[in-house]
């Protein structure tokens, strides 16, 4: 039996980088789960202009998003 655990639920706020490479916050209005033989992929449908975001690209707080962005930047330099 497969069990799927997602980080966010409908109505939760998430922070992410939009298509214009700007930080944005939106509310989850739907959850899509794609199940494959060896893994799952969770995507969130959002109320904002960006229709979906991958779970791995969504963050619970603005602070978490900033930490992700700046840690990647430090590793790149």
pLDDT for 59-68, tens place per residue?
Answer: 999 999 999 8
Q: Give the global pTM.
A: 0.83
State both tokens at 62: 């603005």
Model pLDDT, residue 38: 86
Instruction: Using DSSP, state whether 14 is helix, strand or coil.
Output: strand
pLDDT given for residue 77 in this prediction: 52
In terms of pLDDT, which residue wins out, 74 or 20?
Answer: 20
CA–CA distance, 23 with 10 (Å, rounded to integer): 20
Q: What is the pLDDT of residue 63?
A: 94
Question: What is the per-residue pLDDT for 46?
Answer: 96
Is the pLDDT at 76 greater than 60? The verdict is no
Q: Where are the beta strands (DSSP E) in 1-77?
A: 13-17, 23-35, 40-46, 52-54
């Amino acid at each position: 039996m497969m069990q799927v655990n997602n980080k966010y639920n409908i109505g939760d706020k998430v922070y992410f980088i939009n298509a214009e490479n700007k930080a944005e916050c939106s509310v989850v209005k739907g959850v899509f789960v794609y199940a494959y033989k060896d893994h799952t992929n969770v995507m969130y449908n959002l109320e904002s202009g960006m229709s979906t975001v991958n779970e791995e690209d969504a963050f619970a707080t603005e602070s978490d998003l900033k930490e992700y962005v700046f840690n990647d930047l430090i590793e790149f330099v």
